[in-house]
Amino acid sequence: MDSANYPRSTNQVASRHPSQKFRKTQRVLSGMRFRKIIYKGRCKSDHLLVLFAIPTKSDSQPKIGITIPKKTGNAVIRNRWKRLLREAFRTQQHRFPSGFDYVVRPKKGTTANSADIHRSLLKLAQIVTIKSK
């Protein structure tokens, strides 16, 4: 096995900018919080995504919860949606309005496309939070 393609030390591994990581503190984790955001929060959708948002008590960093219904497709398709949504949030989290928790899901019958998801997620977050203020 040729070791020329592998980094020799951890210094050679490209590290992410700290603000671009997707930490556990940036996720909605509890089922009760998911339900509260979906049932009491504001909702906005477009041709690709449905986004729910609810203001938090403090002006904290935004948190996101991702839910992918089984009607979306098989496990491979659902996992692809989750990966693309996490990546879209991770790379644009500094542009999301702070002080809100979000839950996002794809619309039925749509296909996952990275560029469209990036645009749609940010646009919906900005629209739904303007209406919530």
Give CA angle at 90 (15, 64), nearest 5°: 140
Residue 81 has pLDDT above 90, yes or no: yes
Q: Write down the pLDDT at residue 5.
A: 52
Give the DSSP H or E segment for 63. strand 63-66
CA atoms within 13 A on the CB side of 123: 12
Residue 82 has pLDDT above 90, yes or no: yes
pLDDT tens per residue, range 33-71? 999 999 999 999 999 999 999 998 877 888 899 999 999
d(CA 50, CA 121): 9
CATH topology of domain 23-132: Ribosomal Protein S5; domain 2 (3.30.230)
pLDDT tens per residue, range 89-128? 999 988 888 889 999 999 988 888 999 999 999 999 999 9
Q: Write down the pLDDT at residue 65.
A: 93
User: Reduced to 3 states, what is the DSSP secondary structure of residue 69?
Assistant: coil
Domain locations along the chain: 23-132
